[in-house]
Amino acid sequence: MLSVLIWVPILSAAVIGFLPSSAIQQNRVRLVSLNVAGLVFLWNIFLLLKFDINTPGMQLQEYLPWNETLGLSYKLGVDGLSILMLLLNSLLTWIAIYGSSKETKRPQLFYSLILLVSGGVAGAFLTENLLLFFLFYELELIPFYLLISIWGGEKRGYAATKFLIYTAISGALVLASFFGIVWLTGSTNFNYDALPTQTLPTVLQIILLVGIVLGFGIKIPLIPFHTWLPDAYVEASAPIAILLGGVLAKLGTYGLLRFGMGMFPQAWSILAPTLAIWGAVSAIYGAVIAIAQKDIKRMVAYSSIGHMGYVLLACAASTALAIVGAVAQMVSHGIILAILFHLVGVVESKVGTRDIDKLNGLMNPIRGLPLTSALLILGGMASAGIPGMTGFIAEFIVFQGSFSIFPIPTLLCVVATGFTAVYFVILLNRTCFGRLDSQSAYYPKVEWSEKIPALILAVLIIFLGVQPTWLVRWCEPTTTAMVATIPPLEKAVTPQVALLNPSKSIAE
Amino acid sequence: MTATVTKAILPPSTHEFAPIIHRLEAGGAMLPDTPENLMQIIGIYKAYAVPMDFYWRDLLYIAERVFLDPFPFFKYFLPKEYLELHNHYAGDDADLRIWRGKATAHPELLAFMEKGETFKMPKLFHHLWHDRVNMEFAEACMRAMLWHRGMGGKFDPYLDTDEYKANADRAIKAYFQGNPVMLGLYKLFPEMFIEQVRQLSYYSNLGLFWEVMAPVFFEMSDRYDAGDIKTVPEAMNFLVNAIFAIAGRPIYHHLHIRGEVYEIIPKSCGFMWLYEAALPYVEAVFYRTAPFRGTKSYNAQAQQVPEDQKDFHYGILYADVFPVGTAGIPPTLLMQDMLHFLPQYLIDYYQQHCRGKDDMLIQLGISFQRSMYVVTSAVIQALRTALLYPLDDPNPRHLKANRAFFEAQLNRFKRPEARLRDVQSQNYR
Amino acid sequence: MADIVDIAVSAGSFQTLVTAVQLAGLVETLKSPGPFTVFAPTDDAFEKLPEGTVQTLAQNIPQLARILTYHVVPGKLKASDLAQLNKLTSVEGSEIPIDTSEGFEVKNATVIAPDIEADNGVIHVIDTVLLMG
């Protein structure tokens, strides 16, 4: 059942990729891959319906022994944490393929790489075996390098190489930690539930956890390991940027939750204050740098860094509510980022520039891009956390869950949310409002195939904002169970304690 | 055309718009003479003339019959009598037959009033759905003239005279005869009622102005279709001749109550179409108008709006046509009206450019701007003919006076908002 | 001597003007003692106006009267008197600029025959119809 999500895309990728170009019309390739992605998405919905909300542990498991000497086994399972990630992956793959230009060069290679990536990411989310996770994690590397460097913007070679190097180091760090875990605990295989990491001395736990945090920290990304992101997101074409930001970044936070918090609860509670501050710093930094940008795509890229900071804060706080918020933020950010990158891509392809100083007046109903601008406003405001949309839900839960544990970092993150509104208002004010320049504003019209992905995402954003239960109900039991294993944080201050002893200081 | 004579006598102009000055001196217009330009302006004149046929009739209806009705809910419901009112410059019984067609309402207008953009329904539904001729645009033009006032001619000063006030007083009392409430209000606020009557006089002024322009545009379109107008200067000259021919048309304001006629502004005042209607209209609507409310905030302290009304530059000759279609832009009403009556050759032309059918409103708006530059050129050439010297005058002093006049007129288009530079290029769509 | 109207009638080249004056009912005025200075456009001057102009004016007497009275200035001003002035105010109310620097010009018209004396004034013959503005 679960294997379908991995192998249908990968096999389709192989078929599409290796088919001789005479056997299939080049302009049909997009349609074929769209259908494949659509089928995978529908299968995902089917699995969602089969998913039992009340069970905290792994469900729908599959197991195939593969290479016992290495400790590598094909073990798949899905729980509350990963089911939403899988849905996000297949939805965004479909959106990315739909939103890709019909005139993409070398379509067979392009779409087969996308499907390959999609299948690989699904595998990473599904696997219960550390080594298998690493294999799927590394599977992304070369396809994305190719996707950025062949179909990207001007500095694509530079951006793709930087991405490759950073992500390779990230993988190396993660692998080192995994090997460390297995070697130090003396277990025979890499299976997730078979690793008795609690038996290790605290110091070793902390060292291994630091390795995992750094490795996934490059992926998320966290300041100061983020420098690959702006270049990669900006140089990648819009569909690839959607996949990079919407799906690949989530791999980092998922890994942090599953392998960091999940395997090292004690070490996690020791590192938590540092992580909370790190998350707050990341959020503020991302927002402040975004305010200074002149390129709208770069602005959205930096906003992505900021929003991932909230996830880290919530993971650090590790209350039940906070982890729910972390998952909600991962999903919500994925959807919002997708709509933003898609619309920025439409603006760039119609107007020809991304420079905020040159863009103006796009809301003009006849000569401008009215629907695109309107949805850009919706996306921007969703990202800033306006109530009624999914961004608010996610951020509110994160703040509510983290405030009791880490009040100062939470407040800093709230400030960062305010900054998000600042740069999005700048972007929308300059891009959408104002006057069209009658010397140059002769833009082609936006086709329906470019509007539909944005409309679908907009509907989803509003729906989840108004009915948040559809976002959180899947993950609650799992996250509550995960949190139960974490010892209460030493620095925790519950509201009751604070009221009784106002003089008791927080930091110790 | 005696371009060579002029050029031989005078050295080239050093004005910023020297090529346009030379074109005017050669008998041309501010718009370049190309077949594409000619097609655009003639097509738009025709598309403009059909709703104009409604505007002038309804303006006169409001000025003469609706008058000071406190609840004029049906002022746009033009009665049959006014639809069949004979235009004085068309039809067999015309004072001066400018248009070869009928004197009653244009058949395309009648067809549109039946169906609108949707389908045949009772008039009230068309009105409420706003599927009708946008009379609000005509009222906006009237209000521009009223607000600016003082633009020359004797009509405007007359509105402040005692004679006018006495006429208005008589008319008001007659209109509200038997209505103690309104007469009481009139006793309390006489100035308010007189000011309303002044506004209605401007309704009449504009209605009489457009009564003439509609047959002129129809005739131009018919001549173009028959091949009699082949260049932009020929079109402009037709306008110049028309301006002279009807210059003497009287401007008046007569009120019809219960079968009697009350002359608020009698014909005997001697107000002429050229001086009291046309020139103030061009000044108020083509050049000045007012900034459109609701689209942008203007900081008065930062001088973003000129202090003197004569410096206002929000008319069609300065307008940015791209916002047409946005809320709060009155010309959108006119563009939408014209969209319904475009000749087929213009529709075909627009479909080949820009976004085709999707942005026809703006494309035709820009054609309209070009056509209004030709009308303005005609006014300038007419004024030159009336007040200055012929283009082929052998006296260099006279030619210098002509040139000074042209340069002074073109100085008004030096400011960056003026679209004179844009209309020189065919790519401005 | 003859008055202004008689001179105009007998000259033979002012038929349009005379007809206009009669239509406008200004004959009595121009036969009165005055005195008046009249700038009289010839028939050729009226021909120069685009077709239909005179017809419309002829249909509207007050407007016609206005144009005609613009050509009349109270007082008897001969060419020598006008040489010292640079503008006059017509009976209609609007101003008429005078330019005697090179030849004798009244607004945009050239005086082709000045100083035709009459009982009640003087006539200057001009080659263009004067219009206000």
pLDDT digits (tens, 9 = 90+) for A215-264: 999 999 999 999 999 999 999 999 999 999 999 999 999 999 999 988 88
- Residue C23 in any domain: the answer is yes
pLDDT at A494: 46
- Residue C131 in any domain: the answer is no
- Residue C59 in any domain: the answer is yes
- Residue C20 in any domain: the answer is yes
pLDDT at A24 over 80: no
Q: d(Cα B213, Cα A376) in Å, to the nearest integer?
A: 46
Average pLDDT over residues B373-389: 96
B163 inside 8 A of chain A by CB: no
Kindly indicate the confidence band of residue B7, based on its pLDDT and cuts at 50, 70 and 90.
Answer: low
C97 inside 8 A of chain B by CB: no
pLDDT at B8: 61
Contact B354 A442 (CB under 8 A): yes
Of B152, B250, B389, the CB nearest to C60: B250
- Residue C55 in any domain: the answer is yes
Q: Do chains A and B touch (3 or more CB pairs under 8 A)?
A: yes
Q: Is the Cβ–Cβ distance between A281 and A268 less than 8 Å?
A: no
Q: d(Cα B30, Cα B171) in Å, to the nearest integer?
A: 45
Q: Which chains touch C (3 or more CB pairs under 8 A)?
A: B
Q: d(Cα A362, Cα A45) in Å, to the nearest integer?
A: 37
If you measure CA to CA, which chain A residue comes closest to B421?
Answer: A439
Torsion of the alpha carbons at A267, A269, A275 and A279, rounded to the nearest 10? 140
Which residues of chain B neighbour A445 with C-beta distances below 8 Å? 355, 358
If you measure CA to CA, which chain C residue comes closest to B387?
Answer: C108
If you measure CA to CA, which chain B residue comes closest to C52?
Answer: B245
pLDDT at A58: 87
- Residue C76 in any domain: the answer is yes
Would you give the DSSP letter of residue B324? B
pLDDT at A482: 86
Which residues of chain A neighbour B324 with C-beta distances below 8 Å? 366
Mean pLDDT over the full length of chain A: 91
pLDDT at B4 over 70: no
pLDDT at B107: 95
Count of beta carbons in the 10 Å neighbourhood of residue B329: 21
Which residues of chain B neighbour A435 with C-beta distances below 8 Å? 320, 322-323
pLDDT at C1: 65
List beta partners, residue A495. none
Average pLDDT over residues C84-93: 89
Which has more confidence, A26 or B64?
A: B64
Average pLDDT over residues A295-320: 94
Q: d(Cα B251, Cα B353) in Å, to the nearest integer?
A: 43
Kindly indicate the confidence band of residue B162, based on its pLDDT and cuts at 50, 70 and 90.
Answer: very high
Q: d(Cα C74, Cα C88) in Å, to the nearest integer?
A: 9
Kindly indicate the confidence band of residue B1, based on its pLDDT and cuts at 50, 70 and 90.
Answer: very low
Domain extent listing, chain B: 2-424
CATH number, domain of C40, equals: 2.30.180.10
Kindly indicate the confidence band of residue A163, based on its pLDDT and cuts at 50, 70 and 90.
Answer: very high
pLDDT at A485: 81
Which residues of chain C neighbour B240 with C-beta distances below 8 Å? 50
pLDDT at C80 over 80: yes
Average pLDDT over residues A82-111: 93
Kindly indicate the confidence band of residue A489, based on its pLDDT and cuts at 50, 70 and 90.
Answer: low
Count of beta carbons in the 10 Å neighbourhood of residue A243: 27
Q: d(Cα B425, Cα C39) in Å, to the nearest integer?
A: 46
Sign of CA dihedral B261, B262, B267, B272: negative
Contact C60 B267 (CB under 8 A): yes
List beta partners, residue B255. B262
> Which of C49, C56, C71, C130 has the most B C-beta neighbours within 10 Å, making it the best mutation to test the interface with B?
C56
Contact B389 C108 (CB under 8 A): yes
pLDDT at A504 over 80: no
Which helix (DSSP H) or strand (DSSP E) does residue A108 occupy? helix A107-126
pLDDT at A180 over 80: yes
Kindly indicate the confidence band of residue A507, based on its pLDDT and cuts at 50, 70 and 90.
Answer: very low
Q: What percent of chain A has pLDDT over 90?
A: 73
pLDDT digits (tens, 9 = 90+) for A319-367: 999 999 999 999 999 999 999 999 999 999 999 999 999 999 999 999 9
**Per-position DSSP letters for B158-193, written without gaps between them:** HTTSHHHHHHHHHHHHHHTTT-HHHHHHHHH-HHHH
- Residues composing chain B: 429
Q: d(Cα C88, Cα B341) in Å, to the nearest integer?
A: 50
Would you give the DSSP letter of residue A295? B
Kindly indicate the confidence band of residue A71, based on its pLDDT and cuts at 50, 70 and 90.
Answer: confident
pLDDT at A296: 95
If you measure CA to CA, which chain B residue comes closest to A436?
Answer: B322
> Which of B295, B304, B322, B425 has the most A C-beta neighbours within 10 Å, making it the best mutation to test the interface with A?
B322
Which residues of chain A neighbour B354 with C-beta distances below 8 Å? 367, 442
Q: What percent of chain B has pLDDT over 70?
A: 98
pLDDT digits (tens, 9 = 90+) for B10-35: 899 999 999 999 999 999 999 999 99
Residues 6 or more apart in contact with residue A502 via CB below 8 angstroms: none
Average pLDDT over residues B28-49: 96
A448 inside 8 A of chain B by CB: no
pLDDT at A67: 84
Count CB pairs under 8 A between chains A and B.
35
Which residues of chain B neighbour C63 with C-beta distances below 8 Å? 248-250, 270-272
pLDDT digits (tens, 9 = 90+) for A29-64: 999 999 999 999 999 999 999 998 888 888 888 888
Kindly indicate the confidence band of residue A490, based on its pLDDT and cuts at 50, 70 and 90.
Answer: low
- Residue C133 in any domain: the answer is no
Domains of chain C: total? 1
Mean pLDDT over the full length of chain B: 93
pLDDT at B9: 76
Residue C48, domain extent? 4-126
Q: Is the Cβ–Cβ distance between A185 and A197 less than 8 Å?
A: yes
- N-terminal to C-terminal alpha carbon distance within chain A: 50
Q: How far is CA A209 from the centre of its chain?
A: 21
Q: How many CA atoms lie within 13 A of A216 on its CB side?
A: 26
Average pLDDT over residues C86-102: 89
pLDDT digits (tens, 9 = 90+) for A255-294: 999 999 888 888 998 999 999 999 999 999 999 999 999 9
Q: How far is CA A239 from the centre of its chain?
A: 14
Which has more confidence, C26 or B327?
A: C26
Give CA separation, A56 vs A59, A195, A254, A479, B13, in Å. Answer: 9, 19, 16, 8, 88
pLDDT at B424 over 70: yes
By the 10 Å C-beta count (0-12 exposed, 13-18 middle, 19+ buried), B169 is classed as middle
